[in-house]
Structure 1
């Protein structure tokens, strides 16, 4: 099938200091195809185009048989490039695939495909110190043309990459945002597919997100579909919160459990558990903080839980694109909740989490947790040559 040809962006023309979060054509993408009677094909490097062949009756388009992931690769001080916790994305893509009746790529195939995509596009990885990264997008979809609502006998797995900038650098540094609680739309049903990263979970949220932005709210927050009592997640990010030590100003950031903050995040079956969320939970535990993954009632957020508290000390959205976005105000109907006094900056504990993740990703802090892969880094030569 003849595909439109398109020119890759010249890496030398990229303004690394002013990269945004938008599509940039790189040199190539990786493709694998699975067929029920043949298994997975060998990796194919597709160059010279940003297009893919697609049957008019592809089940990935008609019946939403698709899922995807998002992760990043970073250039370290040694010039080598490493992916951040890609095995977690491999696992989650597999779980999402099963939710929509597709054959999941084995972890080894997933990792090799991500590595090959990075290797062949190594010149598009932003320089160390720029704050940018190479965004890696694995995509899986049913690619057979059929009219019946059945699992596709052919599945295509693609990994493409795009250089992206430091989100906060372009927005004048870390700034708190306002969030609108949307009670007119339920993002996910309790026993539905909200825990999977499916394309079909995102489009239905767009009208809600657009309406919120028109009212001046960059993000929307959704409550549980059954009772609208518990917090679930933001449009594209997980919900996290911190309660500071009971005595203001007391307790060190890495203090004992008696003086440590409490890190809180919902454990609903309807939310998509992000790699960033898991990383923050593990870091908080490492710091000696208390970690609570549990149902989070809206009354706790609003300070009306009846326990004498005034709500959470800090609230934020977390995800791959920005790591942490502090929330300074939440609005639910006529109710307005200010977080951290409505401050636009992160509090000290959320800031420590953010700084630590960014330092590990960039290679300026030792990766004692083994989160960067491969440990030896990627140079752009083939992995066989490196071995």
Structure 2
């Protein structure tokens, strides 16, 4: 490593890097794209991304393996999810090949900033697409920017793999039949106030209920929810207003194929949380954050422990991170080695 960063104590924050990737869409096509040294963009003040929220983004990580090589985890899935978001917001798609090539270029340009194996830290990649140019009316932009920025990061929640407490909010992050299942900025803007209230009251984050009936769990802040039942079932919400998490999809596979659990994607009613012995939030940034307790109105639901990680959650975490860091061989197509 060429720097003296204390990787074991990194938080989830922006840090200066060497280069980022940028590509422009004009006259109906994307240019070849290039690396640039700074993370600043110059765009028109009339850009649709600023006024009408026409933007989408992704999040994935570059992992340093024990042998020193670097790999990405399921980047094809991130590329496909971004394409889906672009379709919904009437933006031009980026091909899977261009998406992965851009990520590779950024990783190689910042190779010495990919944290060492064993620190628990990674190089977080943030690909995004924004509508730019001179636009005034509510309509899709004619020009777009696709960029990949990066930063070395540690755990999203303080304490790493340790239980956190959450509160259930009655606010909504997405509307029924809206954009909740797409990775677009508007969903996150809608979550800022509820997250702020949760933090002010001493919680790691808030949990959102389904926006139609407010009877079922949808998402945990910016992550997905899963629970382990007393009879060893892995249950996670199924809803049209939650993001299709790549981490959650991976955990569902591991729970079924490696741990022999029955995996159910269905309704998780808030008044039946006592059926879970363990619960967690999962996502690219958080990986897995065990849930120690959920507070809702005058009820408190405690799971395995508020101080210790449950055995099933621990196994799932170890298997998933083992694959991500190259210690465990994963299913075909899950790992993309940077060459």
What SS does the corresponding residue of 1:232 show, helix, strand or coil? Answer: strand
Q: Which segments of 5 or more consecutive residues in structure 1 lack a partner in the other structure?
A: 1-9, 246-260, 304-310, 379-387
CA distance in 1 between partners of 2:113 and 2:193 (Å)? 34
Could you say what secondary structure the match of 1:356 adopts?
Answer: helix
Contact 1:174–1:345 under 8 Å retained in 2: no
Matched, 1:323 2:287: yes
8 Å Cα contact 2:165-2:306 kept in structure 1: no
SS of equivalent residue, structure 2 residue 191: helix
Please, which of 260, 263, 287 is the counterpart of residue 234 of structure 2?
Answer: 263
After superposition, what is the alpha-carbon deviation per residue over 1:337-368, rounded to whole angstroms, capped at 9, x for unaligned?
1222x432221111100011111111122234
Q: Secondary structure at the match of 2:276?
A: coil
Mapped partners of 1:140, 1:368: distance in 2:
30
C-alpha separation between the residues in 1 aligned to 2:211 and 2:9?
A: 40
CA deviation profile, 1:309-361 (whole Å, cap 9, x unmatched): xx211111111122111111111111221222x43222111110001111111
Deviation sequence 1:67-110 (CA, Å, 0-9, x none)? 11110011112211111111111111111111211111111111
Post-superposition offset of 1:166:
4.5
Structure 1 CA distance, aligned partners of 2:154 and 2:209? 31
2:317 maps to 354
| Structure 2 residue aligned with 1:21 | 12
Give the conservation status (yes or no) of the 8 Å contact 1:134–1:162. yes
- Please, what is the CA RMSD of the aligned residues? 1.6
C-alpha separation in 1, matches of 2:28 and 2:168: 48
Alignment match of 2:165 (pick from 157, 178, 198): 178
2:178 paired residue number: 192
Displacement of 1:289: 1.1
Which residue pairs with 2:198 in the alignment? 212
Q: Match for residue 36 of structure 2?
A: 46
How does the TM-score come out when normalised to structure 1?
Answer: 0.84
1:154 aligns with 2:143: yes
In 1, Cα distance between the equivalents of 2:279 and 2:127? 30
SS in 1 for 2:336: strand
Aligned length: 338
Q: What secondary structure sits across from 2:112 in the alignment?
A: helix
Q: Establish whether residue 67 from structure 1 lines up as the match of residue 56 from structure 2.
A: yes
Give the match's secondary structure for 2:295.
strand
Q: Describe the shift of the 1:17–1:326 C-alpha distance in structure 2 as closer, same or farther (beyond 3 A).
A: closer
Displacement after TM superposition at 1:167 (Å): 5.2
Unmatched tracts of structure 2, length 5 or more: none
Does 2:299 correspond to 1:299?
Answer: no
Structure 1 CA distance for aligned equivalents of residues 333 and 315 of structure 2? 19
Distance 1:112 1:363 in 2: 21
Secondary structure at the residue paired with 2:119?
Answer: coil
Query: 2:324, 2:335 within 8 Å by CA — same for their partners in 1?
Result: yes
Residues 205 and 235, structure 1, Cα contact 8 Å, conserved in 2:
yes
